[in-house]
Amino acid sequence: MSTHAEASFTIDGWEEEDVFQADGVRIYRVKVSKTLVGGLDGTAQGWMTMAMAPGDSAAYVGFDRLEVTVDGRRGSFVIRHDASMHAGGGDATWDIVPGSGTGELAGIRGTSRVDRHDDGSHTYAIDYDLDEPATTA
């Protein structure tokens, strides 16, 4: 059974670098820094490649490396995410990269999401399972 944890976060840094721009299409890289407070407590560094197209269409792929405490366990892990949006809707996929957990979060696996609220704030959430450390007899 998965455990749920979530946190509010603030964006502390946002650095963009253009890769390509022509005919209304823009492709660029972003480095983002976040501070998370709540059930996930710590920091996240993210790297994304984003594409904007005419007609308000956009997509991105990226990775976030979180250094956090979750349910009293300290460590880090990586989340892979991708999303697309267009006039008809959009979709997103977020998951914890298998084997990326370190410290007391070694063996973590699961899914994640970011929710945007009406007041402009954001919540980062994970549903995860964590292997228990092996014991020796």
Q: Is there a domain that residue 136 lies in?
A: no
Q: What is the pLDDT of residues 69-113, one digit of tens each?
A: 999 999 999 999 999 998 878 888 899 999 999 999 999 999 999
Tell me the CATH number at 47.
2.40.350.10
Domain residues for the domain of 98 are 3-130
- How far apart, in Å, are the Cα atoms of 48 and each of 63, 65, 67, 129, 131? 6, 12, 18, 26, 29
Indicate the pLDDT class of residue 133, thresholds 50, 70 and 90. Answer: low
Count of domains forming the chain: 1
pTM over 0.75, yes/no: yes
Cα of 97 vs its chain's centroid, Å: 11
